């Protein structure tokens, strides 16, 4: 074992692609080394100009391994199928393919029920240093950063031009020729310290050189240092700094020697909506916003990559840049307020070819919203007022898309609409619905905060799905250019969060008709939502199949809330139960009914003769007639029939010679199965 150090030295790496690939880097390295029979578990570090793999104990030899080779059947591997007569041409060909002499000792083994020629080779370990260049080349080729760059006359590319590759195994520098470079044991330190290459002897020396050269290699150390410096700034200026985790990760990725500093801007800019100030600072300059007493403050925290003792010139420069950007924002904001809210301009923006413009989309959304309102009337006090407000909210929902501010900051759509609606004194529910129309925006996003906003968000998302399905623009594999999966996830989460009743098989056709879309196979849309439930509910897929096949009154269960409730209750129950025993027993219930006629006969309790069938019947009737406060209680009660069912199967012959008794016993099992079927089809469960 020897220390391994690999450094890929590059020009400045873009932070976001690097951070996106970072979680996969170790797995890719280990996958490649394992294929070469090397067990490796390095630590992965990065700075803006390097990707580094370090391992204290790296094997100097690959692991020995065996390879098995199966040849032709004995019947053709030997002359006349007799080993005593020697190898046939087919047998000789087997050894030639293995680059072995034909008199090599062989074995005979079984494969697919036949005796075949067999040979096992043991490959002894080889020095890992002979494989490292090849492994590293495969590793670099496996990294996916999105766009790549080419430089010089190279035909291969990388995220940024590579300046050096260093491979050190112990004290030995491993030669590698790649990307037009010959690898060398050298690195760069911080530009403020030196612009020349620094020679490296080994892993320990490398760490010393970087430390003296003002490069903090460990990204977690840089992160901790930034947070410590921010804490000191908060104390010194009596402010609170908003730690945006994505922004924090980004500034960690773009600094080798981070130095946090406090800057300020003119208080007059605070007349801008806080989101505009924060977005301008974060997206354009990577500043952290500051607060005092819960209100945005005219200060900011920047993180420089400078080793200078005096950061004032850097602070002043950043303040000057921010002032210019905020001045532009004020200009846009005041222009928008002066020009007013003009949703009629949405007629000039095409939604999707074949689906009209954004004004057409708003009309469809309004029809859907008013149809939903009839279903959810119990959530609102004044239907006429709510109806009028819904029309207004949807008409103005995307009016900010034609504003100067959203043109400059597209990420503020909806948010600027909220502020403009407030400025024009629109109803508070309308203002908030405009702001919350895109929620949820991700897996952990917040949701619309009230039923009115929820109706607006639902209508927008449902139209998005229906409209694209109507022109056959349906997600395929990993491709989902119109983000329909995200829209469907949002619909499900909003329905669940608000407690809105929503039956896929009933509500989809009704709402689709309200939007007057082109004819489409609505079952595809229903199945699309069922697939999204599989993605949202992190449970065994067989539980979902079980519940999807539940039947209430002979109709499949398609109520979204009931599906979610049943799946979660079943999952919770099986977490605490002897899963396999229960599934085996209750699948036996389903199997008994396979050959039964669809024509149901009434159950006759008078035909029960044995105590086991009487006890089972009485236990079932008790459950059938009982009212359960929650589905989990009903599930527990049904599976509690386990003891009575076990005794029934052990002591009662279902296929009794008397046809009436046989049918009656089958009908009892059928009734029990049907009771389960209200929750799910138990034969689908495979845990």
Coil/strand/helix, residue 506:
helix
Residues of the chain with pLDDT > 90: what percent? 69
For 430-446, how does the pLDDT look when each residue is reduced to its tens digit (9 = 90+)? 999 999 999 999 888 99
Residue 597: the pLDDT is 58
Residue 186: the pLDDT is 97
Beta bridge partners of 127: 61
Q: Where do we find the tokens 């766009």?
A: 147
Angstrom distance (rounded) from CA 621 to CA 232: 70
Q: Locate the domains of the chain by residue range.
A: 2-62+128-212, 65-123, 219-326, 344-536, 577-684
List Cα–Cα distances, 570 to 552, 634, 645, in angstroms.
17, 10, 20
C-alpha closest to that of 436 among 493, 481, 380? 493
Give me the half-sphere count of Cα atoms (radius 13 Å) on the Cβ side of residue 301: 29
What is the secondary structure of 130-143 as a DSSP string?
Answer: GTHHHHHHHHHHH-
Angstrom distance (rounded) from CA 559 to CA 496: 11
8 A C-beta contact, residue 200 and residue 206: yes
Angstrom distance (rounded) from CA 650 to CA 671: 19
Residue 95: the pLDDT is 84
Q: Where are the alpha helices (DSSP H) in 297-343?
A: 312-339
Residue 591: the pLDDT is 74
In sequence order, the 6+-apart residues with CB closer than 8 A to the CB of 395 are 343, 362, 366
Crossing angle between the packed helical segments 642-651 and 579-592, to the nearest 10 degrees: 50
Q: Output the pTM of the full model.
A: 0.80
Angstrom distance (rounded) from CA 324 to CA 214: 32
Phi, psi of 118 (to 5 degrees): -145, 140
Residue 600: the pLDDT is 62
C-alpha closest to that of 469 among 485, 491, 493, 455? 485
Residue 599: the pLDDT is 59
For 178-191, how does the pLDDT look when each residue is reduced to its tens digit (9 = 90+)? 999 999 999 999 99
Crossing angle between the packed helical segments 631-639 and 560-575, to the nearest 10 degrees: 50
Coil/strand/helix, residue 1:
coil
Residue 595: the pLDDT is 61
Residue 82: the pLDDT is 83
Angstrom distance (rounded) from CA 231 to CA 374: 53
- Total Cβ atoms within 10 A of residue 530: 18
Tokens of 299: 């200060």
List Cα–Cα distances, 562 to 290, 447, 548, 566, 632, in angstroms.
45, 20, 10, 6, 12
C-alpha closest to that of 335 among 228, 418, 416? 416
Beta bridge partners of 5: 54, 168
Angstrom distance (rounded) from CA 591 to CA 582: 14
The CATH fold of domain 577-684: Isoleucyl-tRNA Synthetase; Domain 1 (1.10.730)
C-alpha closest to that of 46 among 238, 275, 219, 257? 219
8 A C-beta contact, residue 19 and residue 62: no
Angstrom distance (rounded) from CA 637 to CA 623: 7
8 A C-beta contact, residue 291 and residue 297: yes
In sequence order, the 6+-apart residues with CB closer than 8 A to the CB of 151 are 157, 161
Low-confidence ranges of the chain (pLDDT < 50): none
Phi, psi of 611 (to 5 degrees): -60, -35
Residue 647: the pLDDT is 92
Q: Are strands 65-73 and 172-173 parallel, antiparallel or unpaired?
A: unpaired
Beta bridge partners of 479: 476
Angstrom distance (rounded) from CA 440 to CA 297: 28
């Amino acid at each position: 074992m020897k220390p391994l150090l690999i450094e890929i030295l590059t020009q400045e790496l873009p932070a976001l692609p690097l951070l996106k690939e970072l979680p996969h880097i170790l797995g890719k390295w280990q996958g490649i080394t394992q294929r070469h029979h090397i067990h490796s578990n390095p630590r992965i570090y990065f700075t803006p100009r390097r990707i580094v793999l370090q391992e204290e104990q790296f094997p100097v030899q690959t692991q020995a391994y065996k390879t098995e080779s199966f040849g032709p059947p004995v019947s053709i591997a030997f002359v006349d199928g007799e080993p005593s007569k020697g190898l046939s041409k087919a047998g000789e060909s087997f050894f030639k393919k293995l680059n072995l002499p034909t008199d090599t000792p062989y074995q005979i083994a079984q494969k697919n029920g036949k005796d075949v020629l067999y040979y096992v080779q043991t490959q002894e370990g080889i020095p890992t240093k002979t494989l490292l260049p090849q492994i590293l080349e495969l590793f670099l080729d496996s990294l996916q950063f999105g766009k790549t760059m080419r430089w010089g006359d190279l035909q291969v590319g990388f995220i940024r031009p590579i300046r050096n590759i260093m491979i050190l195994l112990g004290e030995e520098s491993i030669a590698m020729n790649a990307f037009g470079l010959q690898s060398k044991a050298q690195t760069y330190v911080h530009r403020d310290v030196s612009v020349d290459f620094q020679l490296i002897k080994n892993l320990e020396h490398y760490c010393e050189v970087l430390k003296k050269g003002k490069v903090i290699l460990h990204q977690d150390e840089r992160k901790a240092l930034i947070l410590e410096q921010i804490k000191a700034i908060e104390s010194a200026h009596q402010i609170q700094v908003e730690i945006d985790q994505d922004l924090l990760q980004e500034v960690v990725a773009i600094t080798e020697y981070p130095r946090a500093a406090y800057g300020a801007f003119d208080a007059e800019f605070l007349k801008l909506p806080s989101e505009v100030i924060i977005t301008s600072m974060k997206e354009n300059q990577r500043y952290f916003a500051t607060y005092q007493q819960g209100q945005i403050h005219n200060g900011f925290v920047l993180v420089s990559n400078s080793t200078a003792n005096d950061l004032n010139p850097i602070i002043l420069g950043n303040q000057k840049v921010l002032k210019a950007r905020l001045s532009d924002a004020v200009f846009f904001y005041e222009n928008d307020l002066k020009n007013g809210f003009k949703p009629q301009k949405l007629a000039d923006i095409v939604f999707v070819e074949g689906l009209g413009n954004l004004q057409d989309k708003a009309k469809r959304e309004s029809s859907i919203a008013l149809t939903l309102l009839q279903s959810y009337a119990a959530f609102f006090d004044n239907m006429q007022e709510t109806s009028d407000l819904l029309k207004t909210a949807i008409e103005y929902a995307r009016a900010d898309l034609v504003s100067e501010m959203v043109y400059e900051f597209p990420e503020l759509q909806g948010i600027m609409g909220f502020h403009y609606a407030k400025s024009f004194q629109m109803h508070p529910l309308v203002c908030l619905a405009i702001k919350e129309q895109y929620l949820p925006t991700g897996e952990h996003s917040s949701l619309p905060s009230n039923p009115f906003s929820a109706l607006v968000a639902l209508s927008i998302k449902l139209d998005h799905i229906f409209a694209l399905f109507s022109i056959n623009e349906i997600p395929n594999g990993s491709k989902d250019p119109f983000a329909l999966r995200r829209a469907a996830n949002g619909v499900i989460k909003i329905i669940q969060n608000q407690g809105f009743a929503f039956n896929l098989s009933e509500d989809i056709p009704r709402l689709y008709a309200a939007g007057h879309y082109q004819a489409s196979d609505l079952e595809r849309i229903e199945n699309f939502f069922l697939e999204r439930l599989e993605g949202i509910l992190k449970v065994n897929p067989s539980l979902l199949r079980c519940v999807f096949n539940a039947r209430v009154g002979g109709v499949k269960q398609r109520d979204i809330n009931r599906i979610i409730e049943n799946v979660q209750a079943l999952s919770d129950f099986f977490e605490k139960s002897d899963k396999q025993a229960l599934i085996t027993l209750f699948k036996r219930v389903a199997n008994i009914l396979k050959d039964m006629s669809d024509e149901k006969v009434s159950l006759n309790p008078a035909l029960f003769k044995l105590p086991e069938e009487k006890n089972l019947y009485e236990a079932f009737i008790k459950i059938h007639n009982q009212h359960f406060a929650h589905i989990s209680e009903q599930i527990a009660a049904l599976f509690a029939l386990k003891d009575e069912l076990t005794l029934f199967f052990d002591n009662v012959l279902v296929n009794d010679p008397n046809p009436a008794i046989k049918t009656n016993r089958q009908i009892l099992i059928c009734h029990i199965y049907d009771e389960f079927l209200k929750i799910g089809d138990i034969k689908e469960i495979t845990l």
